[in-house]
Structure 1
Amino acid sequence: MNLSKVKQLSLKQQAFESIKNAIIDQTIVPGQILFERQLSEMLGISRTPVRESIPLLEMEGWVTSVPRKGTFVCDISEKDVEEVIQIRRAIEVLVVELLIPVISDSEIENIEKLYGTQAELTEDKNKFILTDKDFHIYLAELSGNRRLAQLMGTLSDQLRWFGVRALNTPNRNEQTLKEHALLINAIKNRDVERAKQAVLNHIEHTRDAIVKNLKIIKICQKGGGLENPY
């Protein structure tokens, strides 16, 4: 049996991850044009891996190339939101159904510690969202269904991207913490139906916050407040 040697993450993959994360946290904003030279200087690498990372970003829907104009950062559409929310409802309801019969007291304490960490990060949107991702993935892991946890991991980049937008809505971080607290309380009481309702309410409120932000941006674009490159 011949196996290829394990290699460090390629420069192309490093460029891909760095640019993707900058798009997710809005360091690179929707509609912004990507310039290879600028990105290569910021990342401290040559232009070749940056150029090679663009098709990967486009394949995953983070950027779009417009002939004779350049490569632009994509924005979130309401259709994107609806599709991901539909998947998230199905996954997270199943998560609480599976985890409540098997969760231990020590695991509940770990959930509460994650909640406490997130509660201290309300002034840092990006860290708040990263901890939110950890919170939901940890619940999926506690379900005991490995594939379910993998699905949550696959969705995590999209959820972070959407989550940053949701937090642009006033008081959304405080509301998120209240919704998490209700979910944790239902889990502590081993109340499956209440936990399912809590997670569905949380998802719907998140959806509403994202869509509200998207509508505000559309109004700004129509009024000339934001430039749309498309």
Structure 2
Amino acid sequence: MSLFKVQQPLSLKQQAYEGIKNAIIVHKIPPGSTLFERDLSENLGISRTPVREAIPLLEMEGWVKSIPRKGTFVSQITAVDVEEVIQIRRGLEILVIELLIPKITERNIEELDKIYVKQLEHIEDSGQFIAVDKDFHIYLAELSENRRLVNLMSTISDQIRWFGVSALNLPNRTEQTLKEHASLIKCLKNKDAEKAKEAVLEHIEHTRVAILSSLSKEFESRK
């Protein structure tokens, strides 16, 4: 009789992958930076071998780019990247709303309120704030009860976090995000699908504008 293997903790390769990716997302390793295996292994507290093995995974997903005889670099964020991801996010989040409205319960709303309060507590910490922002949107996706949709949302959310960390430094962007989340929660509480769709599209548009504005400021500062 064959048995399924017991799930093991993350391998060192997976730890390296997650650690480097998260550092890229929150801009501890900024776009355009060169990756050095020795520095990464020292910071992660693991050997260089799993770091080396993690690099191709990161490159396959577009987080880094390796150039022969030059090195491996964190990918740059472009306006085209932002527009493409935002287009996909619009479609996914509208589908999330359509699927969850008939299923959402008072207990679900209470959980959303808890996530909202948690995000409010991290308003001064952009890395934590945007991590909780992902929790908020992924929880909504989970309420759709569509596993594939949750996986797609998770991938998109990682990229949105990467794009959006700098945008949180713009005046009032964190406060605006919280207001947009509060508005969406109110619509969901009332089970108003159309108003919820309007609220989520407004939130996405404000996010798009903030990210592009941040990119523009960074580009001007590099001139």
**Fold conserved between structures, TM > 0.5:** yes
Corresponding residue for residue 194 of structure 1: 195
Quote how far apart the aligned CAs of 1:8 are: 3.5
1:180–1:41: structure 2 CA closer, same or farther, 3 Å change rule? same
Letter in 1 for 2:168: L
Identify unmatched segments of 5+ residues in structure 1. Answer: 224-230
Partner Cα separation in structure 1 for residue 174 and residue 17 of structure 2: 29
Quote how far apart the aligned CAs of 1:215 are: 1.0
Matches for 1:119-198 after TM superposition, within 5 Å: 119-198=120-199
Identify unmatched segments of 5+ residues in structure 2. Answer: none
- Would you say 1:98 and 2:94 are equivalent positions? no
Partner Cα separation in structure 1 for residue 164 and residue 214 of structure 2: 11
Matches for 1:12-91 after TM superposition, within 5 Å: 12-91=13-92
* Superposed CA RMSD: 1.6
1:144 match: secondary structure: coil
Partner Cα separation in structure 1 for residue 3 and residue 27 of structure 2: 39
Partner Cα separation in structure 2 for residue 116 and residue 7 of structure 1: 33
Aligned identity (percent) is 66
The TM-score with structure 1 as length reference comes to: 0.90
Quote how far apart the aligned CAs of 1:22 are: 0.5
Partner Cα separation in structure 2 for residue 102 and residue 9 of structure 1: 34
1:115–1:7: structure 2 CA closer, same or farther, 3 Å change rule? closer
Partner Cα separation in structure 2 for residue 145 and residue 159 of structure 1: 21
Quote how far apart the aligned CAs of 1:95 are: 1.2
Quote how far apart the aligned CAs of 1:147 are: 2.5
> Which string of whole-angstrom CA distances, capped at 9 and with x for unpartnered residues, describes residues 27-85 of structure 1?
11112111111111112222222122111111111111223221111121111111111
Corresponding residue for residue 227 of structure 1: none
Partner Cα separation in structure 1 for residue 144 and residue 197 of structure 2: 14
Letter in 2 for 1:49: P
Letter in 2 for 1:186: C
Partner Cα separation in structure 1 for residue 21 and residue 40 of structure 2: 12
Letter in 2 for 1:140: A
1:167 match: secondary structure: helix
Quote how far apart the aligned CAs of 1:163 are: 2.4
> Which string of whole-angstrom CA distances, capped at 9 and with x for unpartnered residues, describes residues 159-180 of structure 1?
2212213213221110000111
2:104 match: secondary structure: coil
Runs of 4+ in structure 1 displaced over 6 angstroms? none
Partner Cα separation in structure 1 for residue 42 and residue 202 of structure 2: 44
1:197 match: secondary structure: helix
> Which string of whole-angstrom CA distances, capped at 9 and with x for unpartnered residues, describes residues 78-107 of structure 1?
111111111110111111122222211121
Corresponding residue for residue 226 of structure 1: none
1:177–1:64: structure 2 CA closer, same or farther, 3 Å change rule? same
Q: Report the count of equivalent residues.
A: 222
The TM-score with structure 2 as length reference comes to: 0.93
Letter in 2 for 1:65: S
